[in-house]
Chains A and B, each alone.
Chain A
Amino acid sequence: MPIGTPFHERTEEHCKNKDWKDWAGFFTANSYNVVNDFEYFAFRHSAGLIDITPLFKYKITGADSGSFLSRLMTKDISKLRLNQATYCCWCDNRGMVVDDGTVMRLEENEYFVTAADPSYSWFNRFVKTSDVTIEDVTETMCGLAIQGPTSRDILKKMCDADLDNLKFFWTTKAKVDGADFFISRTGYTGDLGYEVWTENENAIKLFDAIWAAGKGYNIRMAGIAALDVARIEAGLVMNGVDYHSSLHALTPAQMSTPYELGLGWTVNLERDSFMGQKALKKEKKEGSKWATVGLDINWPELEEIFNEHNLAPHTAAGAWRDSIPVYHRDDVTRQIGYATSGTWSPAVKKNIAMATIEAAYAKPGTKVNFEVTVEHQRRTVSAIVEKPQFFNPERKRSNPKK
């Protein structure tokens, strides 16, 4: 039975349609209203507020914490500057991804790590004799993501942090009504946005301050359903949906490497040894078997199939998370991959999907066939392979001009 997060008494007031979901043991609103596309649009036009408390959260402290994390993560965390944050993944010694998340350096010797899966024991295995303490703060700290073009203005109004100068993937400390919290310019929507983190006892104070400041800026509560649409447009993979942690995979075929997930950019290969380094070096040299790509699914062809049935075209409302076969462009019996999630993208007006595909077909522009089901019949339409990131507005990384 899930429990409420420290924000529950507020989110419950807003959740008009009682559409709750279990996210890692917490009640999370899947959506807040029957008609919920406005929650998505808040990310793109104003600001959407999401309770992200259920993420697993760890504080890593001690003189060796930096080098410890560098050994664990694909990225060289020792390079991380004070107040800087980074996105990366971590692997087992076969180079297979265990999880992905964000690492933030909050103090000289203090890091904050978020993860999709419980990771305490996995991290702890590598502590050994070094001066490192791992504290699981999942149940004592909480977080809100505020994402969208007006998110900066809202936070500026509710606290005195210097947000005009806070760059993409940096953090800053702030206070609200005497309570400490910190802000990271991170998120899962591919838009301008921040995540704010605090101790549980400050939760309501923080929530109310953001909500009050957001009034003139059209702030809205947003649920997981809306987040899913935004993250697919932004080309961000999801553990448990687009790939499986190697710790949970039952067969090697269910595992993925960072390169296969399109996370090669988070791998710093040439450095002191880290988990999976040997295998990843080999893969880098010999090439990967799979790739993660975006698919632009041909809309007019889909329209045509609906037309044959005398129907207007129709897609599922919101994002989907089913496995759907992807076939060779000339041979619809030859499966070359599978889509793992997708959505109609309101931003780019395309029917898009994220797919795992044989590396040979991963080049942007490659034509493939995609399975669709129309009126109970399975058919195929063509799709073009693209980079997974379909939407990437300038405001995501930019700062106000002085």
Chain B
Amino acid sequence: MAKKYDAIIIGGGHNGLICAAYLAKAGKDVLVLEKRHIVGGAAVTEEIYPGFKFSVCSYVVSLFRPHIVRELNLAQHGYDIIPMDSSFQPLHNDVGLCRWGDGARSRREIARFSKHDSEVYGEFGKVMTHMARLAKEVIDHPAPDVASINPKELASLLRMGKVFKNLGPEMLQMNTKLLTMSSADFLDLWFESEVLKGPMAVSGVIGTFLGVRSPGTAYVLLHHYMGELDGAFRSWGFSKGGTGGVSDACASAARSYGVEIRTEVAVSHVKIVNGKAKGVVLANGDEIESKIVISNLDPNRTYLKMIGENNLDADITTEIKRFKMRGSSGKVNFALSGLPQFCKGREGDEYMRGDIAIVPNVDYLEKAYDQAKYGEFSERPFINIVIPSLTDPTLAPPGKHVMSCFVQYAPFDIKEGPEHWPQLSEKFGDAVQATIKEYVPDFDSLVLHRQVVTPWDMQETFGLTEGNIFQGELTLEQLLFQRPIAGYAKYKTPIDGLWMCGSGTHPGGGIMGSGGELSAKTILNDKAI
């Protein structure tokens, strides 16, 4: 008789692997099934062009939970993050603005644009770090169920309440503003320079189909200050060997606890008998049995493909369909024969070792968004560029470089229709390259290879419905007890024995590991296996 597992995890994204590792560490017999030839999902490294290793999708790590590193011994399995020191914003006819880890240095840079802002900048960072404690409290625990009178739920609500209360009245007010305002408006409360506000505001809209002036986008700014709380003392970093390094470390840890990982095995759907998950049915028709099934896929795929509408109440189907997945970003990766110079007026390459943000001011972002609203990709998009080979020479041959460009906006629902993205792909790549050329005139001569990843590719290759990079937008109404839908925010689904662990669950997207960790802990707490 074929083997029956305690748990089968559909999808080998980093969350699936972490969930598997925690369950196996607790003695469970776990199988991970991944559709692609490598694990990692949106966190992968691939050698797209010989000798050049690309972080194909996600490219920087900031929120990965340090307690997961400790609990799963990930450092021994190769988890290794290289911090980034600077954020550079090139400008036409100017040396641009570079913000550094060195406070005095940043102050002098900002003072070129606004003396006032240069003095407020440090204070802003301090206040945001202080308030980020709240975000941390939210991220590191399952979402409390507000409608419940179960004492356990109340306790977790209280804990959150305590952090709120301890913030003090001024901070509480600030917090309310953070939750309700747009990122641009919130920054207006502090800063006057449109140049400085540009790159700061944009972090509020990454992965959403919203603009920097859309209400509710301020909250996500907090996430940028959380790294400080984790004792990492620097928010953003590169994973050594590319982002896939994180997934590989998770896979290696999972295997060390006995997890079995199979790649190139696509799951067709969950086997459901009398409303209970009994295992999975593979694309080739084979069946594998298990006591429970955990889906690492986004809510849309989990509910509509893995479960299927036949097995769901109509109102749940409606709600899931309402869950916003609108992809809005693309990715363009370059293999370069040499180092581009984003600023002639700056010496050395130090200023390019962090991220480079093409966002000259706030209006630029709003304009880019305007085009997207009407179903076009932005001709002059926001681009977040990193050249990780500068700090991690293992990614490219000596003297050569990989350059990763995260681009927004590139709406999934392009006016020609999403299925037309493959024909638009190169045109989109050209727009990105033309934007870069405005700052690096000789850029074309450096390009050895260009890889364009459109929202359509993210859906078709990486299994992200509508190309949403976070398995569902990170907007307030889709967070906490509402992620993915009210009543099923604690990694459960309407199907008995079917759980979720991906970014589409609380606390959301990004390479954090939280979905994997918290789902496993919830499953173990519930004695589901």
Residues of A within 8 A of B (CB): 33-35, 37-38, 41, 44-46, 149-150, 216-218, 299-300, 307, 310-313, 315, 317, 344, 346-351, 391
Q: Looking at the complex, which one of B67, B130, B132, B399 makes contact with A299 (CB distance below 8 Å)?
A: B67
- Taking the closest CB of chain B, its distance from the CB of A378, in whole angstroms, is 21
Asked if B363 is at the interface of the complex by the 8 Å CB criterion, the answer is no
A-B contact pairs, 21 of them (CB 8 A): A34-B102, A35-B85, A37-B234, A38-B83, A45-B82, A45-B240, A46-B393, A150-B393, A150-B394, A216-B398, A218-B392, A307-B133, A307-B163, A310-B166, A310-B168, A312-B228, A315-B231, A348-B75, A349-B67, A349-B230, A351-B231
**C-alpha spacing A218/B387, complex, angstroms:** 13
**C-alpha spacing A41/B133, complex, angstroms:** 26
**Chain A facing B: main interface SS:** loop
Enumerate chain B residues within 8 angstroms of A45, measured Cβ to Cβ: 80, 82, 240, 391-392
Interface contact B83-A348, CB-CB below 8 Å: no
Contact residues, B92-114 vs A (CB, 8 A): 100-102, 104-105
Q: Looking at the complex, which one of B75, B231, B234 makes contact with A347 (CB distance below 8 Å)?
A: B75
Interface contact B102-A35, CB-CB below 8 Å: yes
**C-alpha spacing A371/B104, complex, angstroms:** 33
Enumerate chain B residues within 8 angstroms of A317, measured Cβ to Cβ: 233
Residues of B within 8 A of A (CB): 66-67, 69-70, 75, 80, 82-83, 85, 100-102, 104-105, 129-130, 132-133, 163, 166-168, 228-234, 240, 390-394, 398-399
Q: A37-B234, A218-B391 are in contact. List 6 more A-B contacts (CB 8 A).
A: A307-B166, A310-B168, A313-B229, A346-B232, A349-B75, A351-B231
Q: Closest residue of chain B to A216, judged by CB?
A: B398
Q: Looking at the complex, which one of B69, B168, B390 makes contact with A348 (CB distance below 8 Å)?
A: B69
Enumerate chain A residues within 8 angstroms of B399, measured Cβ to Cβ: 216
Interface contact B129-A41, CB-CB below 8 Å: no
**C-alpha spacing A85/B163, complex, angstroms:** 56
Q: Closest residue of chain B to A150, judged by CB?
A: B393
**C-alpha spacing A268/B230, complex, angstroms:** 44
Interface contact A349-B70, CB-CB below 8 Å: yes
Interface contact A312-B133, CB-CB below 8 Å: yes
**C-alpha spacing A44/B250, complex, angstroms:** 19
Enumerate chain B residues within 8 angstroms of A44, measured Cβ to Cβ: 80
**C-alpha spacing A3/B66, complex, angstroms:** 43
- Taking the closest CB of chain B, its distance from the CB of A14, in whole angstroms, is 12
A35-B100, A45-B392, A300-B67 are contacts. A312–B132 as well, Cβ < 8 Å? yes
**C-alpha spacing A307/B230, complex, angstroms:** 13
Enumerate chain A residues within 8 angstroms of B391, measured Cβ to Cβ: 45-46, 218
**C-alpha spacing A346/B392, complex, angstroms:** 17
Enumerate chain B residues within 8 angstroms of A307, measured Cβ to Cβ: 133, 163, 166
- Taking the closest CB of chain A, its distance from the CB of B232, in whole angstroms, is 7
**C-alpha spacing A33/B102, complex, angstroms:** 9
Q: Closest residue of chain B to A314, judged by CB?
A: B231
Interface contact A344-B69, CB-CB below 8 Å: no
Q: Looking at the complex, which one of A149, A216, A349 makes contact with B231 (CB distance below 8 Å)?
A: A349
Enumerate chain A residues within 8 angstroms of B132, measured Cβ to Cβ: 312
**C-alpha spacing A35/B83, complex, angstroms:** 12
Interface contact A349-B80, CB-CB below 8 Å: no
**C-alpha spacing A151/B233, complex, angstroms:** 26
**C-alpha spacing A37/B66, complex, angstroms:** 18
**C-alpha spacing A311/B392, complex, angstroms:** 34
Enumerate chain B residues within 8 angstroms of A46, measured Cβ to Cβ: 391-393
Enumerate chain B residues within 8 angstroms of A349, measured Cβ to Cβ: 66-67, 69-70, 75, 230-232
Enumerate chain B residues within 8 angstroms of A37, measured Cβ to Cβ: 83, 233-234
Interface contact B83-A218, CB-CB below 8 Å: no
- Taking the closest CB of chain B, its distance from the CB of A126, in whole angstroms, is 43
Enumerate chain A residues within 8 angstroms of B240, measured Cβ to Cβ: 45
Enumerate chain A residues within 8 angstroms of B392, measured Cβ to Cβ: 45-46, 218
Interface contact B390-A218, CB-CB below 8 Å: yes
Q: Closest residue of chain A to B104, judged by CB?
A: A34
9 closest Cβ contacts across the A-B interface? Answer: A216-B398, A349-B66, A35-B101, A348-B75, A349-B69, A34-B102, A35-B102, A217-B393, A45-B82
**C-alpha spacing A346/B133, complex, angstroms:** 20
**C-alpha spacing A348/B129, complex, angstroms:** 23
Interface contact B232-A312, CB-CB below 8 Å: no
**C-alpha spacing A313/B240, complex, angstroms:** 27
- Taking the closest CB of chain B, its distance from the CB of A244, in whole angstroms, is 31
Q: Closest residue of chain B to A45, judged by CB?
A: B82
- Taking the closest CB of chain B, its distance from the CB of A397, in whole angstroms, is 15
**C-alpha spacing A349/B240, complex, angstroms:** 16
**C-alpha spacing A389/B167, complex, angstroms:** 39
Enumerate chain B residues within 8 angstroms of A34, measured Cβ to Cβ: 102, 104-105
**C-alpha spacing A148/B392, complex, angstroms:** 12
Enumerate chain A residues within 8 angstroms of B82, measured Cβ to Cβ: 41, 45
- Taking the closest CB of chain B, its distance from the CB of A140, in whole angstroms, is 35
**C-alpha spacing A45/B395, complex, angstroms:** 12
Q: Closest residue of chain A to B229, judged by CB?
A: A312
- Taking the closest CB of chain A, its distance from the CB of B179, in whole angstroms, is 19
Enumerate chain B residues within 8 angstroms of A38, measured Cβ to Cβ: 83, 85
